[in-house]
Amino acid sequence: MNCFSSVFSGGNTGPRYRLLLLSLGLLNVVLLISAVIIGIKCAQIRQNSLHVSHPVAAQLLNQLHDLHNNHSDVIMAEEDAKRALETAVKNHAMLKDQLQQKQIINDGYQKQLEALRTERTTLLSNISALEMSCGKCPPGFLHFNTSCYFFSYAESSTVKKNWHNSRTDCINRGSDLIVIDSPEEQTFVGNSVKKMVQGLNVWQNGFWVGLTDMDTEDHWVWINNVTEVEPRYWKDGEPNEAGTGEDCAAVLQSPSNPWKSRNDANCKRREIYWICEKVSR
Ligand code: MMA
Ligand code: CA
């Protein structure tokens, strides 16, 4: 039988039993103290675990804290920037609208300006026509001595006609093809044609005049029925009735000798400029 079996068997209540009780009591106290100490230590450790004492960890915590602050700043800055961007976008749209409206207004002004410019040009040419003709000739006609002259080239450099259609145009303008019956008039026509020279081809700057031999070959008569007696105004070798026949007279450019400026040409086939004449007011 061992010590415990003898204790619980109730057989022995001597000094051994008391020693055992004392030992158990002491053990109890020791365990209690240990439990209290462990409890205190645990509490201390739990408290200390909140304060990281390692310097690197502390630095990291600081950096984390700073980063956190920075992050908040960045978010706030981003929101500010977003708001600023929205405002800028709104302003941009507004300015674009304003710009478009200004553009429309500007386009309108440009059109008005162009119309005014065109009107100004017309008025200026009317003034110069009036000044040139002293009010004695219709618009488009130049005044010289007692007549008014229309050079078709001055109105259009592209429109050209045969002799018959040129005469019709003159009649429609209240005039007729020019009758050159003085040296002054020949000089005036020669100088005027010289100003309109466009190229080296003589026919390119040819102008019909009211002189024909269509009734009697080689008998040159002006449309006012006056026979031309001056041979000096023909170019050398003209009139020559070339090709299929040439019964109408034209004034061509003649830089070397303005007096020798006439040539006979085919009335129907040849299309050139023309000169009209009417008596001035
Ligand atoms: C030549 C000459 C003129 C004539 C034309 C016709 C270029 O000049 O013979 O007299 O009228 O040809 O094209
Ligand atoms: Ca000829």
Per-residue pLDDT band at 42 (split at 50, 70, 90): low
* Ligand 1 center–CA 30 separation, angstroms: 150
Phi, psi dihedral angles at 145 (to 5 degrees): 50, -115
Question: Is residue 147 in contact with ligand 1, taking CB distance under 6 Å?
Answer: no
Closest to 162 (Cα-Cα) out of 200, 221, 214:
214
Tell me the whole-structure pTM to 2 decimals: 0.58
Which ligand sits nearest to residue 269's alpha carbon?
1
Query: Is the CB–ligand 1 distance for residue 240 below 6 Å?
Result: yes
Give the residue, by CA position, lying nearest to ligand 1 atom 11: 265
Distance CA 193, CA 187 (A): 10
Ligand 1 atom nearest the C-alpha of 265 is: 11
Q: Across residues 245-264, what is the average pLDDT? A: 91
Question: Which ligand is nearest to the Cα of residue 264, counting in written order?
Answer: 2
Task: Find where tokens 């006979």 sit.
Answer: 264
Report the C-alpha gap between 271 and 120 in whole angstroms. 33
- Give the domain ranges of the chain: 143-279
Highest CATH level, class, for 143-279: alpha beta
d(CA 113, CA 120): 10
128 lines ligand 1 (CB under 6 A): no
Q: What is the pLDDT of residues 64-79, one digit of tens each?
A: 899 899 999 999 999 9
Instruction: Say yes or no to pLDDT of 239 above 60.
Output: yes
pLDDT in tens, 161-212: 999 999 999 999 999 999 999 999 999 999 999 888 777 788 888 999 999 9
pLDDT in tens, 92-130: 999 999 999 999 999 999 999 999 998 998 888 777 767
C-beta 175 within 6 A of ligand 1: no
Phi-psi region at 162: left, alpha or beta (left = phi > 0; alpha = psi -120 to 50) = beta
Q: Is the C-beta atom of 254 inside 6 A of ligand 1?
A: no
Average pLDDT of the chain is: 88
Q: Is the pLDDT of residue 226 over 90?
A: yes
> What pLDDT was estimated at residue 194?
87
Ligand 2 ion: nearby residues, β-carbon < 5 Å: 238, 240, 242, 246, 263-264
* Band of residue 255 on the pLDDT scale cut at 50, 70, 90: confident
Distance 224 CA to ligand 2 centre (A): 22
Determine whether the shortest distance from the Cβ of 178 to ligand 1 is under 6 A.
no
pLDDT of residue 50: 54
* Beta carbon of 242 within 6 Å of any ligand 1 atom: yes
